Structure 1
Amino acid sequence: TSVMMFLYIFIFTTVRDTKDSLVVTNCGAEAIPFLKLYGVLPMATAFIMGYSKLSNVLSKETLFYVTLVPFFIFYIAFAFLAYPARDMLHFPPPPGTMMHPAMALLRYWSFSAFFIASELWASAGVPLLFWQCANDVTNLEQARRFYPLFAVIGNLAPIASGKTMSAIVSRQATNDDDGFGMTLKYLALVKVSICGGIICLYRLVNGMSSKGRALALTRSMKKGQKCQAKKKKPTFAESMVELSKSKELRAMATKVICYNICIELTEVLWKGILRKKYTNKSDYMAYMANFSQIVGITAFILQIAASSIIRNLGWMAAALITPLSMAALAIPFFLSVSLGEKYVPAATALLIGTVQNVISKATKYALFDPTKEMAYIPLGPEAKVKGKAAVDVLGARTGRSIGSASQQIMVIIA
């Protein structure tokens, strides 16, 4: 199971660094709030509605494949078809030198589509597909011991991904858009190979779990327990109304939304500073690859201690470490930016922002996610499928969108 997590996070890291390299260098970091609010949020809503609808008609295994495979078809098509034809597909630049971020997103629409798909993968990969599988095969007592350990191997993925991306970028024949295109093709082939690995591991884990469930069912029937009649599955709207009554799901949704608001407010500002220093796609990707390696190393170190933290300090203390560390580092970062380059050099602000983002992500992977997933285990099947999808996909996108809207309002006021 931990190997599956490794593969999911490996893909997440590569697409995160790639989407930022495409959008930030072409449209600017200030375009990201527009894209997340008007592009990612509607698509996330459509994804949840489609996922919930399919969960009523497909088996869990088929639903897994139907959710997973389209992402990799898109990444192959983008690398081998869309990006090589970018000049033909994209709109010509408007007259004048300045272009509004929203207009830039429309002009580079294929890059925007890649960004949206990658944001959906960020919510559908590890949070939904992996943890749903893990929650199905793990009980609460096992989770306290094993969930932090799952992530020990899983959090080596950013290191491996960063090393892989750095190696591919360093071997580019040229440092221009064509060289970057070859990097995209190599990464797409890596993604497809990993997709095959995920499917094989899922079949193995799901097969073992199915045998265990079948054995338990046989034992219960021998004891004279009757199988419950199959109930009519509720509609998406009925499910959401019923799930909204769950105190646990409301608490988890609040937790996810607030985390994503906070990370959005700091991350976009940090990426804006980063773009000023690295205007070339390949250089930007190389920096992000190194950043991912640092995140992975930090998360791995924290993960080793995570089991002890949860066991000795308790669930609540472990869950509070992420928001407290984010706030403690966000204050000096915002202060360094607000003072301006006259008092704080841009390189210093970039360093503080990088440290803040590293700690925010590392503590999320090591503590925030495992503690959140433990809360799902006692819940019913409906909450584990539709409730989890709503919290992890729509909740995350809602938080990002609120952060994006806040930034747009602040820009207008300023």
Structure 2
Amino acid sequence: MSSFAKELKNAVWPIENKELPKFLPMAFMMMCILFNYAVLRSIKDSLIVVNIGAEAINFLKFYVVLPSAVLAMIVYSKLCNVTNAAGVFYAISAFFIAYLLAFALFIYPNPTVVHPDQVWIDSLAAQYDRWKWFIKIMGKWSYASFYVVAELWGSLMVSLLFWQFANSITATAEAKRFYAMFGMLGNLGLPIAGSVLKMQMADPIETTKFKVLMTAISAVAIVMSYYWLNTRVLPYQDAGGAKTKKTKMKLSLGESFKMILSSRYLALIALLIISYSISTNLVEVAWKAKARALYPTVESYQNFMGNFQIIQGYGTIIFMLIGSNILRKLSWKTAALITPLMFLVTGLGFFSFVIFDDIISAYLSAFLSGGALAFAVSLGTWQQVLGKGTKYSLFDPTKEMSYIPLDDEMKSKGKAAVDVIGGRLGKSGGAFIQSTTFILFPSLTFAEAIPYFAVIFTFIVLLWLYAVSKLNVEYNKKLASVSSN
């Protein structure tokens, strides 16, 4: 093989043949996890945005999802103290599979049975206007529960269990080649999810039921892949198939928080996650409010989200190809800075159009054939595609690489506290800002509140850029310390 051909092969496929038995099952797991993430995310949004309203998302994220994430963290911590990593993975996966089956087969097909009378809910909401969003959420509690479980899937299966498993079996040299490729192949799950979301049956209830059942089947495939890796691949990676027994760590939830607060390094990683979560929440909810106005039914909204997932999936794969080479050839800092810079440019572009849509539309009316609303939704869609593309291809790999120089205690429960609680605090931070605004000013619309959200968004992204710069210094110190030992 010529040097050029070898360089081209390494740029497109940097995985060696001997590494395939470990790499391919991990990539398949990532694909299934992201397939579920995309399908669950789109369904949860369609159920809430269409049946309750986009404003309800912020109330759910802060007042329901955040406490649920704290509870999940407590359960995770307890599981870590009573069983090994495999037991934790199987237990959490079993919970998701059981819920998805119950929702698809029993809860969702019977809305009139599980939900209170809608006339009564509407009268309560009208009587207590300041608390109307809480009342509306209680009136559709099963959709709210689905929203919570879908959010926890992203936090637990993507951010915590998968990456913790990957970090435990991947060396730093492998991570530079593996992690971006995990994302590239894993994101094939997004266009598949998009095709599933676009499927429509004669009965809308049967359509959503089928889509949720597909996620349950995908979750089973994830568990089977994890089992295969642990029983058929990893035991034979070392000479003679020997495995080093690790000491089980005993660390409470409070100690995990204390670890973050006492560690500048973990605090900076948490700041990255919180900054990303708040900034994406501020843009995303405004985009979904616009999308709901353009696509007012569950079916049309899910079809729109299906198209979005297809575009995002292929877009992210392209970003992964570029990102894998950026990770291998450029510094950690350069790779880590690209995502917040992308958010700053595209986010401000979206907010600017929404704020000044009347003025801009007057000048660009000849080019806005679908109208200002359709253009705003399209602009928000591309912001999400570009933002999520850089997030998956560069933000996630660089964040996970920052854990590798840490000791086992920091990698496991320190990471759990940072990812689950930090991620939820970030999303809930954005949700708190917006939900509190609508509680204090119940008559306020998104259009009227967006200028204030845009200012907060800009400040958060600038804070994100600062955190990257500071963490880069600490990361290089850790790497130097590990290399010298």
**Same fold by TM-score greater than 0.5:** yes
Check 1:383–1:288 CA distance in 2 against 1; reply closer, same or farther (3 A cut): same
1:240-389 equivalent positions in 2, closer than 5 A = 240-341=257-358, 343-344=360-361, 345-389=372-416
Alpha-carbon separation, structure 2, partners of 1:198 and 1:142 = 22
Give the structure 2 partner of residue 190 of structure 1. 214
Structure 1 residue 214 displacement after superposition: 8.5
Overall identity of the aligned pairs, in %: 37
How many residue pairs match? The answer is: 398
Give the structure 2 partner of residue 401 of structure 1. 428
**3-state SS of the aligned residue for 1:274?**
helix
Correspondent of 1:53 among 78, 95, 101: 78
Give the structure 1 partner of residue 136 of structure 2. 104
Alpha-carbon separation, structure 2, partners of 1:351 and 1:214 = 54
Deviation readout 1:280-331 (Å, 9 max, x if unpaired): 1011000001101111111000101112111222111111111111110111
Structure 1 residue 8 displacement after superposition: 0.6
Structure 1 residue 20 displacement after superposition: 0.4
Give the structure 2 partner of residue 176 of structure 1. none
Greater shift in the superposed pair: 107-116 or 90-99: 90-99
Matched, 1:149 2:181: yes
- Which consecutive residues of structure 2, in runs of 5 or more, have no partner in the other structure? 1-25, 362-371, 445-485
Asked if 2 retains the 8 angstrom alpha-carbon contact of 1:13 and 1:161, the reply is yes
Matched, 1:92 2:120: no
Alpha-carbon separation, structure 1, partners of 2:259 and 2:389 = 34
Give the structure 1 partner of residue 106 of structure 2. 81
* AA aligned opposite 2:111: R
Alpha-carbon separation, structure 2, partners of 1:261 and 1:137 = 31
Structure 1 residue 215 displacement after superposition: 5.3
Alpha-carbon separation, structure 1, partners of 2:30 and 2:189 = 8
Alpha-carbon separation, structure 2, partners of 1:215 and 1:251 = 40
Give the structure 2 partner of residue 127 of structure 1. 159
Deviation readout 1:85-118 (Å, 9 max, x if unpaired): 1112112233289572222111000000000010
Higher relative contact order (CA 8 A, sep 6+): 1
Give the structure 2 partner of residue 24 of structure 1. 49
Alpha-carbon separation, structure 1, partners of 2:96 and 2:381 = 29
Asked if 2 retains the 8 angstrom alpha-carbon contact of 1:48 and 1:394, the reply is yes
Instruction: Give the RMSD, CA atoms, in angstroms.
Output: 2.1
Correspondent of 1:159 among 159, 170, 191: 191
Check 1:212–1:96 CA distance in 2 against 1; reply closer, same or farther (3 A cut): closer
Asked if 1 retains the 8 angstrom alpha-carbon contact of 2:81 and 2:249, the reply is no
* AA aligned opposite 2:168: D
Deviation readout 1:128-163 (Å, 9 max, x if unpaired): 121111111101111112111111111111111101
Greater shift in the superposed pair: 90-99 or 118-127: 90-99
Asked if 2 retains the 8 angstrom alpha-carbon contact of 1:124 and 1:393, the reply is yes
* AA aligned opposite 1:350: V
Give the structure 1 partner of residue 483 of structure 2. none
Matched, 1:203 2:235: no
Correspondent of 1:11 among 14, 18, 36: 36
* AA aligned opposite 1:269: A
Check 1:215–1:51 CA distance in 2 against 1; reply closer, same or farther (3 A cut): farther
**3-state SS of the aligned residue for 2:123?**
coil
The two structures have a TM-score, normalised by structure 1, of: 0.91
Alpha-carbon separation, structure 2, partners of 1:398 and 1:265 = 14
- Which consecutive residues of structure 1, in runs of 5 or more, have no partner in the other structure? 174-178, 221-226
Alpha-carbon separation, structure 2, partners of 1:232 and 1:70 = 24
Asked if 2 retains the 8 angstrom alpha-carbon contact of 1:8 and 1:125, the reply is yes
